[in-house]
Structure 1
Amino acid sequence: MKKIITVLILIFAIFLVGCSNKKLDNNISNSNLTVHFIDVKQGDSTLIISPDNKTMLIDAGDNSQGENIKNYLKKLNINKIDVLVGTHPDADHIGGLDYIINNFEINSFYMPRKSHNTKTFKDVLIAAKNKGLTIKEAKYGVKFKLGNYVKCEILNPVKKYGNDNNLWSAVIKTTYNNKSFLFTGDAEFKNEEDMIKSGANLKSDVLKLGHHGSSTSTSEKFLKIVNPDVAVISCKYKNKYGHPHKETLKLLKKYNIPLYRTDEQGNIVFYCDGNKIWTDKKPGTYNYYGNK
């Protein structure tokens, strides 16, 4: 009799554990994707955290921003970056990458096959080599998952683009259930046209505008095809390049697309449950602060 009772207790315990695991899985699948546009002044750095706590960092600002980004990640109790991306060799995007590589465990590292002769670029290569990291090529058609729930696809570079660093920018579309984000690095009109011709599904709910809102990116045709609900620009307040440019601001205003910008709002975080996207900050303005 005692043996029977013991067996029944064990079966019941196993049943409870199974229920608990199912409940945990449901909680994970109902959790949020978070996208952090980190204020790195005149540069780009975006942190994506999946519902099951996998992390992707796209760019790391310039050479002065590594510690700032490290501190931001540490406050979120992040010690490992599952996917690290350097969109292209410009210093305002990869300058802080060597610092991040040296201070975090990195699983996968993507960069386009575009070299540069600057110390900043060489420092990134050295840091990766010292860490034993293999740099995977960021190019059109590459797909990977961030955890179990988030799909990622690289949409650019579509082809080889010569010496212009911006044209080599890795463009990444990230999808969680019914919602998506498009991160465009410094991609320009030519890239946008090539991505359109490629037949890729560019429709996205949130668009991180190319090249800090420059007039050489975000054509009207591209904007209409992406058809975002929200636009984001990463740049420094009253920067020397005049970003974001008047033409881009007028275009966003024309289509009534709410604009979030790090020069006005600092760090910006979006939350996504797979069916809706929200943030605790109000949109920025269409104000132009440049001298051009």
Structure 2
Amino acid sequence: MTRLIPFVQQHILRYAALILCLCLLAGCSFSGITKDSSTIGPVDGNGKLRVIFIDVGQGGSQLIITPSGKAMLIDAGNNDKEQVMLDTLKEYGISRLDIVIGTHPDADHIGGLDKVIDQLSIGRIYMPKISSNTKTFESVLRSIKRKGLKVSSAKGDLTLNLDSGVKVHMLAPLTKYEDNNNMSAVVKVSYGEHSFLLTGDSEADSEQDMLASGADLRSNVLLVGHHGSKSSTSVAFLKKVNPQYAVIQSGRGNKYGHPTQTILERLQKKGVKVYRNDTQGTVEFLTDGHHLQIRAER
């Protein structure tokens, strides 16, 4: 009998290892999180919300696709990323955007919006009540006018009707700021147990007002404000949001030093897993409301 025990133990260990391998091959996840570095692009959504942080270099752009196929685009990178935006939307099979949001007039956020508006079917457009005398801003307004569209005011405490199963709540701007960055539209997207806080270039002043408003800022995934600048993602704001994951949209070797070491260390101290466009390319989150899958381009 004593000789039999090691033999039985050996086969039990082999069986357990086989079960583990099968689970890994099937994409199982004991924690509810599946990390998959497979190619970014169209997949069978199968009732999932998809939040895509598009790699537009030193700029920002997020594409949200709901389980029923509705689409919302927040920002579209800089002027030189127009074709990147069009190609990406085509790759994801997007020919209509039900909601378009230009978070604020800075070129690295709205530079590609004019061509997107020109070439796709557009539902509603939201932009904050702040103007700019730049050619980029004027080009976006011309595209909106050519399509016969009207701009709705992007402001705090506004519920957007995108999909009956997905909550989209605009949390900021809550007041008028002189600084364009603080006028950024901040949007929280929630589906089941998971939520995403998309912050544009909002900085400390806007963060403080959001905290004072009593809005529910808690989110699993945080788009780090202003590309990881130390003027955003204050300690108090990060504590309130309490994310598991953060995404930083910045370009390789940018002249601004984004993301700053201060913010990277702050996120690390909080135990937040960071994904970056400059090192990993486009990053995509998929959720059925319970489980979360993360895919990175590289």
**Shorter-chain TM-score tier:** 0.7 to 0.9
Partners of 2:200 and 2:184 in 1: how far apart? 6
Q: Scaled by the length of structure 2, what TM-score is found?
A: 0.83
Shift in Å, 1:248: 0.1
Partners of 1:30 and 1:75 in 2: how far apart? 18
For residues 230-255 of structure 1, what are the alpha-carbon distances to aligned partners after superposition, in whole Å with 9 as ceiling and x for unaligned? 00000001100000001100101111
Asked whether the 8 Å contact 1:29–1:149 carries over to 2, the reply is no
Which of 116, 120, 125 is equivalent to 1:100?
116
Shift in Å, 1:42: 0.3
Q: Which amino acid aligns with 1:232?
A: V
Asked whether the 8 Å contact 1:212–1:235 carries over to 2, the reply is yes
Between Structure 1 and Structure 2, how many residues are aligned? 255
Question: What does residue range 192-271 of structure 1 map to in structure 2 within 5 Å?
Answer: 192-271=207-286
Partners of 1:43 and 1:252 in 2: how far apart? 20
Indicate whether 1:148 and 2:160 are aligned. no
Partners of 1:128 and 1:280 in 2: how far apart? 33
Instruction: Give me the CA root mean square deviation.
Output: 1.5
Question: What does residue range 46-195 of structure 1 map to in structure 2 within 5 Å?
Answer: 46-162=62-178, 164-195=179-210
Asked whether the 8 Å contact 2:97–2:122 carries over to 1, the reply is yes
Q: Stretches of 4+ moved more than 3 A in 1?
A: none
**Structure 1 residues 143-152 or 93-102, which shifts more?**
143-152
Shift in Å, 1:30: 6.7
- Higher-RCO chain (CA-CA 8 Å, sequence separation at least 6): 2
Asked whether the 8 Å contact 1:43–1:62 carries over to 2, the reply is yes
Partners of 1:281 and 1:76 in 2: how far apart? 15
Shift in Å, 1:33: 0.2
Shift in Å, 1:29: 11
Partners of 2:276 and 2:69 in 1: how far apart? 26
Specify every segment of 5 or more residues in structure 2 that has no aligned partner in the other structure, as ranges. Answer: 1-43
Partners of 1:78 and 1:228 in 2: how far apart? 29
Identity of aligned residues (%): 49
Shift in Å, 1:280: 3.0
Where 1:175 maps in the other structure, the secondary structure is strand
Partners of 2:159 and 2:184 in 1: how far apart? 16
Where 2:197 maps in the other structure, the secondary structure is strand
